[in-house]
Each structure stands twice: as structure tokens, then as C-alpha cells.
Structure 1
Amino acid sequence: MRVHRRGDRWSVWRWHDGERWTPRWYGNLESPGRRTTVGFDTHDWALDVVAAGSPLDGPWTVGFKDEDELAWMVHQRFVTDEQAFHVRMVGTRLLQHTRDAGWPFDAGWDAWLPDARWAAVPVPDGWERLPGED
């Protein structure tokens, strides 16, 4: 599941194995979602925050992921030093928010399980084309 609260510069991902939520969490740094005619667009910022364990009753391990990827993007001039600094600042906020077990880490997800009767929604024909494309 991916949760991207309006205005946040990150989304939080969590996985379900069919019976329970796994103890792995992923904070993806990205631009705020922008509504389009076909859904939402966002831009990945390379740096991520990963966490493992239980945010409510421990142990709770939190750290950065892909710092080397962000450094490579600066070296290749895909992003400027200033942009990378901004990404690191947002990442530091998410890192602390994750350590503090703020929302959605404190949401008590373990009490919710998807209904086994739910079926996957089929992908509609033409999903891969933007409106107006032939």
C-alpha cells in the first residue's frame, strides 16, 4: 500500500503478504502528487527512508537509503547541489518523523486486513495511452 498525503514531499509504502502487514516500511522522497487527467504525477527524488520493526512497541530501526544514488545524480549534473540539499532536508524531516512514529506509522495498520473476497480491479483498455493519443 502506498500512502501519499496531500502536500507531503514523500509517500509511505508498506507491504502485506496476504495474511498480515510485513515489518518493512519505505519512505519515498518525491514531489507532491499533481492531479492529471489519468491519475497523479510525481517525481522521485532518489533518497529514501527505510524502517523495520514495529513503530509503536519496538524495536524500530530507521535510516537513509540511496544516499549514493543522490550523490551520483549530483555528480552527473542531473540535479544541482541546491536541489540535493533540499532533498536531504526533506529526507531529514521524514527520517525524524519516522523515528517519532508519526502518521501513518502510528495508524494501527495491523488491525486491518483486506477482505479475501476482493478481486483485483482490471486495467482498462488503452491505459498506456494519454488522452488524445492515437
Structure 2
Amino acid sequence: MPAIMLSDAGDSIAIHHVPRSVPKRRSGSRVRGPRGNRMLPNAWDGSYEDAPAFMGENVRVHLKDRQYSILRNWNPVERQFRGWYINLELPWKSSHCGYDSADLILDVVASDDLRSWRLKDEDEFRWAGDAGILDSSTMRFAERQARLAMDDIAHLRWPFSADWSRWAPRAVSFAPRLPTGWDQLDG
């Protein structure tokens, strides 16, 4: 997913997703999963295709000691953040053109005031386990990370307690693109 780097500090990485950028996803034979979502169970053909943008403009903060990122939608007109979406994922690995990770399907969403939260996509998560996309140890790992994220929210641990203005994106007139070779793993 092409993005603009906002910060790569000792404890976190912050990136800005611009709506006009074109993310990529694995290609292959997709089947209908829960709620009609197009899932790719063990049928990746080794190539990539343009992916539909699933969120508007947002900032993603990845905590280097956690296996999740926090996405906050950005309203450029009001210049403020809205919502809390916690994306469970494998650890980010630095690459020649950014970072690489893998989504764990299960997510956590929280109210704007952080007084309530819930799991999201549990049906897809269970389906992925049944279909063999996620093995049982990865599923247990994701469930532990979800509990950790919800505990971090409940106790307002950083960055849930942070002043997010330090990551407020500037208006940009371009859409970032993935660089040549983005799909090649480092040796």
C-alpha cells in the first residue's frame, strides 16, 4: 500500500494513506467468504492486482512492540481525526522500499471517545481458519493480540492517550505510488 512516511521514531512508525493511491493485493481465484467478501483461500497465483481502496484518508501508527497498527480516519476539511481501527497483523519487517507485514483478518474497533470497543471480522477470521488460510497457532496469536489491544485501550496506554496532532498529515496534491521492485523480497 503506497503511503507517505510521517515518522519513524524509536517506538513507532506513522504513515499517511492518501485516498488516490492504488494499493495492491494478491491475485488468484477468489471465493465468496462471510458477508460475500472475496477471500483468497490457498490459491495465490504469485502475482498482484490493484486493490479497491477500503478506507478514506487515514494515518496508521504501528507500535514496534505490538502486533497491531492503529488507523485513524483523517478529515482534511475539519483537520481532525475520527475513529479508532486496530488492525491486527504480523510484525512489520523493514524492506528496501518500506515495510512488509501480513494482515491477521481479526480487528478491533473503538468508539471515538475510547469508552467502548469490540472485535470486528470474527466471522471472516473463523472462516479463514476453517479454510486453512490461518493455522491454529496464528489464530491463537491473533486472539492474544486482540486481547492486548483491548487492554491497551481500556488502560489508555500510549498512543491511545497521545496527542495525535504530531501525526496530522499535510495536504498533498499527489498520490504516492509503489516503487519499482516493491514486490521483490530482500535477500
TM above 0.5 = yes
Relative to the length of structure 1, the TM-score reads 0.79
> After TM superposition, which residue ranges in structure 1, 4 or more long, deviate above 6 angstroms?
none
**Could you list the per-position Cα deviations for residues 39-83 of structure 1 after superposition, in whole angstroms to 9, with x for gaps in the alignment?**
10011000101011223xxxx221110111110011101112222
- Higher share in helix: 1
Partner of 1:119: 172
SS where residue 99 of structure 2 aligns?
strand
Aligned-residue RMSD, C-alpha: 2.5
Aligned-residue identity in percent = 27
Gaps of 5+ in 2: 1-58
- Between the aligned partners of 1:111 and 1:7, the Cα distance in structure 2 is 20
- Higher share in strand: 2
Cα distance, 1:114–1:86 mapped onto 2, change above 3 Å: closer
Letter in 2 for 1:21: Q
SS where residue 83 of structure 2 aligns?
strand
Partner of 1:31: 90
- Does structure 2 retain, via aligned residues, the 8 Å contact 1:23–1:54? no
Question: Number of paired residues?
Answer: 125
Relative to the length of structure 2, the TM-score reads 0.59
Gaps of 5+ in 1: none
- Between the aligned partners of 1:74 and 1:62, the Cα distance in structure 2 is 23
Partner of 2:121: 66
Higher alpha-carbon Rg: 1
Cα distance, 1:112–1:127 mapped onto 2, change above 3 Å: closer
